[in-house]
Structure 1
Amino acid sequence: MQAPPKISVLLPVYKVEPYIEECLDSLLSQTSTDFEIIAVDDSSPDRSGEMTSRILENQTRIPWKLIKNAENKGLAETRKVAALAARGEYVLCVDSDDHVHHDLIRRVIEEADKHNADVVVFAAENVTPDGKVNYRIETGDTVITGMQAVERIFDLTLQAYCWNKLVRRSIFLSIEHPTGLIYEDICVSIQTLGKSNVVRLIPDNLYAYMDRETGISTRFNPKIVDLYAIIDRVEKITASMPIPNYRRLLFRLKYIYGYRTIAFQAAIKAPTYRLAEPVLLGVSEKLRVAHLVGMYSDHRPKLSFVMAMLKIHPWIFYCFVRRFGRR
């Protein structure tokens, strides 16, 4: 029997027909072959699953498996389906409309072995289809504990994406994977890091996170309010963790990140105020004067001012953000 690979790439496949070939090409051209691809067709209504099967069948360099969900399960549950079928010591989540650097597998194996790391976090770029880099997702260059990594996510200095983290498979399988919610990466990453002893951060840019007009991250999605439920879960998960300045950092994650994200994304991405209004009203109702004061005390006077507009009336906030808040 063939020895298990070091890494299992978890590849959920859903409505990515125009992009799956580029994604798979980037994986199949890796400088290291010490990995497998576990693709899961999440009942995709297009030809994504067939294309994945055809491309993988036409090569013999990388071992692979293709699973088909009988019904659509969503990203978090599909990743877990893939992880349960995986054999690698580590898992690496890849979104099937993105692509990766050709040296990704070799570099993360090298760092994991060198430091006996439970998690390896690497830099990434948000890229448009024509190759323009919108922004870079930085990580730093250090070795820290899992608890320190959780603290950095709370402090908003480390991103909570799943796709820029190599994770020991036993840890990935031991956590809760929220189903039916978007922004699930926050909950997953905080749990995996919280269970990790050694986390290696490397500055290498190894992942291209694609900014597409049709992507869930670039269009208005009323489910953005799922972020309330995700943050509540994070609060329950972390309440007993020994995180320094926990209440202050939780405020930062909950209000400065969570409330701000919900409100700004609704204002910027909703094509009309009518669509944005229910989301903005929800944030306004939850927002308290104490939260605005907390934002100001956290050295964010501009955010406090703009969110005060939301508290006064969502229409004022909507108009201001549409005029001045676009990236």
Structure 2
Amino acid sequence: MSEPPKISVLVPVYKVEPYIEECLDSLLSQTSTDFEIIAVDDSSPDRSGEMTLRILEQQSRIRWKFIKNAENKGLAETRRIAALAASGEYVLCVDSDDHVHHDLIRRVAEEAEKLNADIVIFAAENISPDGKINYRVEAGDTVMSGVEAVEKILDLTLQAYCFNKLVRRSIFLAIEHPTGLIYEDICVSVQTLGKASVVRLMPDTLYSYMYRESGISTRFNPKIIDIFAIMDRVEKSTASMPIRNYRKLFFRLKYVYGFRTIAFQAAIKAPTYRSAEPILDSVAQRLRLRHLLGMVSDHRPKLSLVMAMLKIHPWIFYRFVRRFGH
């Protein structure tokens, strides 16, 4: 019987018919073969699942498993299902409309082996359909504890994406995966990092995160209010960690990142004020004077002023952001 692979690549598949072939090609052409692909068709309504199965069946170089969910489970639960079926020491999440560097597996496995790291974080880039690089997701070049990495996420100096993190599978399976919520990566990342002893941050850009007009971050999605629930879960999992200035840092994540994201995305991306209003109201109701003062003390007076408009009346905020928010 062959040895289990070092890495299991978890690939949830849902409505990615135009992109799945490029994604799988980037995995099947890796310089290393010491990994397996666990592809899970999350009851996709298009041909994504059958295309995935056909592409995997046509090759024998890389080990693979294919699973089909009888009903749609969502991204977080589908990743967990894939991890349960995996046999690698580590798991790596790859979104099925993205693609990866041809040397990704070898390089992250080498770093994990060298340092006995629980998590390896690498740099990524966001790319437009025309190939233009919109921005880079930097990782740095250092070794730290998991709690130190959580501190960097709270400080907004480290991104909480799942796609640029190799994680020990036992850790990945030991956490809660928030079913039915978007922005689940923040919750998953702080939990896995919180359980890690050694985290390696490497500067290599090994993942291409594709900008899609239909993506969560590029279209209006009323479920953006899920961030409220996500922040509650993040607080629950981080409050007992020995993090310096925890209250200040968590404030930065919850209000500067969370509340701002909900309010600005609703105002900018909603087709009408009527569709944005209930979301803006929900943020306004949660805002307090102490939060606005906290933004000022965090050296964000402009944000405080604009969010004060929201507190006064969502319509004022909406009109201001629609005119100047871009």
How high is the TM-score relative to the length of structure 2?
0.99
Q: Which runs of 5+ in 2 are unaligned?
A: none
2:5 is the alignment partner of 1:5: yes
Q: Secondary structure, in 3 states, of the residue corresponding to 1:217? A: helix
Question: Which range is displaced more, 156-165 or 304-313?
Answer: 304-313
- 2:287 corresponds to: 287
Structure 1 segment 154-303 matched on structure 2, within 5 A: 154-303=154-303
Hey, what's the Cα distance between the residues in 2 that align with 1:197 and 1:273?
47
Q: Secondary structure, in 3 states, of the residue corresponding to 2:218? A: coil
Hey, what's the Cα distance between the residues in 2 that align with 1:134 and 1:48?
27
- 2:125 corresponds to: 125
Q: Secondary structure, in 3 states, of the residue corresponding to 2:2? A: coil
Hey, what's the Cα distance between the residues in 1 that align with 2:309 and 2:209?
33
1:171-204 superposed Cα distances (whole Å, 9 cap, x missing partner): 0000010101011111100000000000000111
Hey, what's the Cα distance between the residues in 1 that align with 2:216 and 2:75?
12
1:12-51 superposed Cα distances (whole Å, 9 cap, x missing partner): 0011111100100111111111110000000001100000
- 1:28 corresponds to: 28
Q: CA deviation at 1:305?
A: 1.2
- 1:317 corresponds to: 317
Hey, what's the Cα distance between the residues in 2 that align with 1:283 and 1:317?
11
Hey, what's the Cα distance between the residues in 2 that align with 1:322 and 1:32?
48
Hey, what's the Cα distance between the residues in 2 that align with 1:172 and 1:59?
28
Q: Aligned letter for 2:162? A: C
- 1:102 corresponds to: 102
Question: Which range is displaced more, 170-179 or 240-249?
Answer: 240-249
Q: CA deviation at 1:217?
A: 2.2
Hey, what's the Cα distance between the residues in 2 that align with 1:192 and 1:203?
20
1:38-87 superposed Cα distances (whole Å, 9 cap, x missing partner): 00000001100000000011111100000001111000000000000001
Q: Aligned letter for 1:274? A: R
Q: CA deviation at 1:139?
A: 1.1
Hey, what's the Cα distance between the residues in 2 that align with 1:170 and 1:157?
26
Q: Aligned letter for 1:103? A: D
Segments ≥4 residues shifted beyond 3 Å: none
Matched pairs, number = 326
1:76-121 superposed Cα distances (whole Å, 9 cap, x missing partner): 0000000000010000000001111111111101111111110000
- 1:114 corresponds to: 114
Hey, what's the Cα distance between the residues in 2 that align with 1:77 and 1:111?
28
Hey, what's the Cα distance between the residues in 2 that align with 1:103 and 1:305?
47
Q: CA deviation at 1:323?
A: 2.0
How high is the TM-score relative to the length of structure 1?
0.98
Hey, what's the Cα distance between the residues in 2 that align with 1:6 and 1:317?
51
Hey, what's the Cα distance between the residues in 1 that align with 2:263 and 2:237?
25
Q: CA deviation at 1:222?
A: 0.3
Q: CA deviation at 1:216?
A: 2.1
Question: Which range is displaced more, 266-275 or 173-182?
Answer: 266-275
Q: Aligned letter for 1:180? A: G
What is the CA RMSD across the aligned residues, in angstroms?
A: 0.8
- 1:55 corresponds to: 55
Q: Aligned letter for 1:143? A: V
Hey, what's the Cα distance between the residues in 1 that align with 2:114 and 2:265?
40
- 2:93 corresponds to: 93
Hey, what's the Cα distance between the residues in 1 that align with 2:18 and 2:305?
42
Hey, what's the Cα distance between the residues in 2 that align with 1:14 and 1:170?
26
1:138-184 superposed Cα distances (whole Å, 9 cap, x missing partner): 11110010000000001110011101100000000000101010111
Hey, what's the Cα distance between the residues in 2 that align with 1:51 and 1:102?
21
Q: Which runs of 5+ in 1 are unaligned?
A: none
